[in-house]
Structure 1
């Protein structure tokens, strides 16, 4: 399952695993929102309200596609956040892991808070 995420300065694709949250996200596409940044993480509201899955994690690899159930948001970390220890990607709280971005996740550094952001199926 592949998605495309588009913002004014760039875009990327991501591969999603077959999880309940991934399926809910795909069913809701396309989604348009406004980007937020938190350290080296981009997140944005999806208006979806999935439950926290048993495999949820707070520390993930750069480029992980995660769903923050506390904020109904897709979370895309590409480096440390304000609560990281060292270089880890530590999310605000445990998140459902949906998949991984293709290529270098540091392209997300071009997203600015307030940028329009769109997620669509490929």
Structure 2
């Protein structure tokens, strides 16, 4: 299974790509750099990818699910409740395509500051 590494601030995440059109588009675009933006419970950043909203796009994600918002061409990493959430759920501001999952700890994302450098690169298979 292909993987990418997302590095932002002091956090590095190994992301397993799913078999989706969005994952294929992101893998085709790596490596790339961007700048982080933050919203309570989320870190997001622009990606040089254009792909339509998929039929199974999500509004609520589970911890470790990585999504892509077609409007704004942004990768979103939700790590906690957002202003849109009901209770402890991770609710996005808009539906987004699920393209990857990570088992890495996400708590450090709370320390990411707007403008931090983000790097997305392919991980060589072991």
Give the TM-score, by structure 2 length. 0.92
Corresponding residue for residue 13 of structure 1 = 14
Pairwise CA distance, 1:108: 1.9
- The structure 1 segments of at least 4 consecutive aligned residues displaced by more than 6 Å after TM superposition are none
Corresponding residue for residue 24 of structure 2 = 23
Pairwise CA distance, 1:55: 0.9
Residues 106-117 of structure 1 mapped to structure 2, 5 A cutoff:
106-117=107-118
Deviation string 1:22-44 (CA, Å, 9 cap, x unpaired) is 00000000110000011111100
Query: RMSD in angstroms over aligned alpha carbons?
Result: 1.1
Corresponding residue for residue 46 of structure 2 = 45
SS at match of 2:22: helix
Corresponding residue for residue 78 of structure 1 = 79
Q: Distance in 2 between matches of 1:95 and 1:86?
A: 20
Q: Distance in 1 between matches of 2:92 and 2:41?
A: 10
Q: Distance in 2 between matches of 1:33 and 1:104?
A: 21
Structure 2, unmatched stretches of 5+, are: none
Give the TM-score, by structure 1 length. 0.94
Residue 4, structure 1, aligned to residue 5, structure 2: yes
Structure 1, unmatched stretches of 5+, are: none
